[in-house]
Amino acid sequence: MNAQLGTTAWHRKHAAESSGGISSEGIYSAVERIIVENGLRGVVLDYGAGIGNLTRRLFNLGHFDRISAADILGAPSDLLGTVDWIKQDLNLAIPDHDGLFDTIIAVEVIEHLENPRFMIREFFRLLRNGGTAIVSTPNNESWRSILALLVRGHFVSFNDTCYPAHITALVRKDLSRIFVEAGFETPQFRFTNEGGIPAKPNITWQSISFGFLRGLRFSDNVIAVAKKS
């Protein structure tokens, strides 16, 4: 039994390390806009903080009184003493933080975890009443992802090169059901409005359309924003 647990822990840490612990500038910027537009303040948790890129941005944004971060990876040296870093396998519960946070942000995390319903139930437990969850994930309803599914039999962000980092593919209907089942209000969806064209992802829909092509079918990532009633 202990050997099995050790193997599982190794695979989870290996998957986390293979992702690099970072996300794109477009996703970070979109999350910052959501924070500003909704006037989010108080205590925030960067859930799945990786190497701390978003954590640093949250600190510099100046909206929050206290910043915490959680990840299976250890805290970067420059963040020690600056934020409350929780070293934790996010497939498991974070202990002793019930109802502590006003906002929880998970940028490109849910697709890495084995049980997305567990993650959102965790958010409901960790958030105060009226708190906000912000969750981004690959947009499997973009034209690029749909075409990959039809041609290759998998969504574009879930091919062999993305494995074992990306293991859980979700669409908006899945996310809506998961949030509502956990007790949240129905989430609102936002898009990064940055999306690569099929077969040539370095060329974006936005660059070839002068920014006209935006939203669901032309964004590589979707962001769900949901409140705890």
- Taking the alpha carbons of 24, 26, 29, 30 in that order, is the dihedral positive or negative? negative
Per-residue confidence (pLDDT) for residue 212, from 0 to 100: 98
Local confidence band at 13 (pLDDT 50, 70, 90 cut-offs): low
Say how far apart CA 15 and CA 226 lie, in whole Å.
Answer: 27
> Above 60 in pLDDT, residue 103?
yes
Q: What is the CA radius of gyration of the chain?
A: 17
User: pLDDT tens digits for 187-216?
Assistant: 999 999 999 999 999 999 999 999 999 999
> Above 90 in pLDDT, residue 3?
no
Per-residue confidence (pLDDT) for residue 100, from 0 to 100: 98
Least confident residue range of 14-18, 25-29, 46-50:
14-18
User: pLDDT tens digits for 61-78?
Assistant: 999 999 999 999 999 999
Helices (H) and strands (E) in the chain, counts: 7, 9
Mean pLDDT of the chain: 93
Per-residue confidence (pLDDT) for residue 23, from 0 to 100: 80
Per-residue confidence (pLDDT) for residue 229, from 0 to 100: 86
The pair of structure tokens assigned to 31 is 């999350």
In the chain, the domains with their CATH numbers are: 2-227 (3.40.50.150)
Indicate the DSSP class of residue 75.
Answer: P
Nearest to 181 by CA among 98, 85, 104, 115: 115
The pair of structure tokens assigned to 26 is 């477009």
Question: Is the separation of the CB atoms in 69 and 55 below 8 Å?
Answer: yes
| Tally of CA atoms within 13 A in the half-sphere of 180 that contains its CB | 9
Local confidence band at 152 (pLDDT 50, 70, 90 cut-offs): very high
Nearest to 47 by CA among 107, 128, 122: 107
Mean pLDDT of 136-142: 98
Q: What is the DSSP string of 20-39?
A: TT---HHHHHHHHHHHHHHT
